[in-house]
Amino acid sequence: MQIIEIYKSLQGESSYTGLPCVFVRLAGCNLRCTWCDSEYTFKGGQPMTLDEIEREVRRLSPDGGLAEITGGEPLLQEREAVPLMEHLLIAGYTVLLETSGERPLERVPPRVVKIVDVKCPDSGEGDTFRIENLNALTVRDEVKFVIASRRDYEFASDFIREHALSSRVASLILSPAFRKDAAGSRDASHCLVDPQQLAEWMLADKLKARLGLQVHKFIWEPSLKGV
Ligand code: SF4
């Protein structure tokens, strides 16, 4: 597999926010989101075998816990990523998979928690979610929308209602997009939508979803990688 980095940090997104987690970041992505903060994953990486990856995960977190497979788009390497997830589950890890939902999800092991980032229009990659993937979602999964504008918010709230997502998944998350060139201060001034504004929209609409902040960007300097 082509691997960009393996590191331990705190989970910055999803309902697992704040918990220690080992991140396995795979190389390559077939999308080009306007606000992408992971462009360094598009090329390169180093080849690693499944055993080497598993050994590194065990070294960083010998007592189990959370392991997230992320990217890039990890399912571009599905042939190896699925066995990796199976191995980590057998080894006792709670496995999270961060994916855009553009690739088929049906071969992802059912015990893996899928965190599906459905792209909104201002990402420049709207309409890339594979609608058949709704059938692969389970009550342990989470769906996330990164919001850069009122238009994105309306897309997300319509999508949630139209597909009755509240009853399909464990958690629905709306998260303000962060400027991709954010650097320096660790505060909400880098958000493309003010979190307060997003909170007010959600409350006004009685939206059954949680507001998510990428907490790693408030803990560490926002341009820092590997945290
Ligand atoms: S799917 Fe993720 S890694 Fe790919 S361009 Fe979008 S934000 Fe970046």
Q: How many CB atoms lie within 10 A of CB 105?
A: 22
Return the pLDDT at 80. 98
Return the pLDDT at 71. 97
Q: What is the pTM of this model?
A: 0.95
What are the residue ranges in the chain where pLDDT is below 50? none
CA of 188 to the centre of ligand 1 (A): 21
DSSP, collapsed to helix, strand or coil, labels residue 217 as helix
Return the pLDDT at 175. 97
Q: If residue 53 lies in a helix (H) or strand (E), which one and from where to where?
A: helix 50-60
Return the pLDDT at 78. 98
Q: Which residues sit opposite 46 in a β-bridge?
A: 3
Closest C-alpha to ligand 1, atom 2: 72
- Tell me if 95 sits within 8 A of 113, measured CB to CB: yes
CA of 25 to the centre of ligand 1 (A): 12
Rounded-to-integer distance, Cα 13 and Cα 19, Å: 10
Return the pLDDT at 183. 81
Atom of ligand 1 nearest to the CA of 100: 1
Return the pLDDT at 107. 98
Closest C-alpha to ligand 1, atom 3: 72
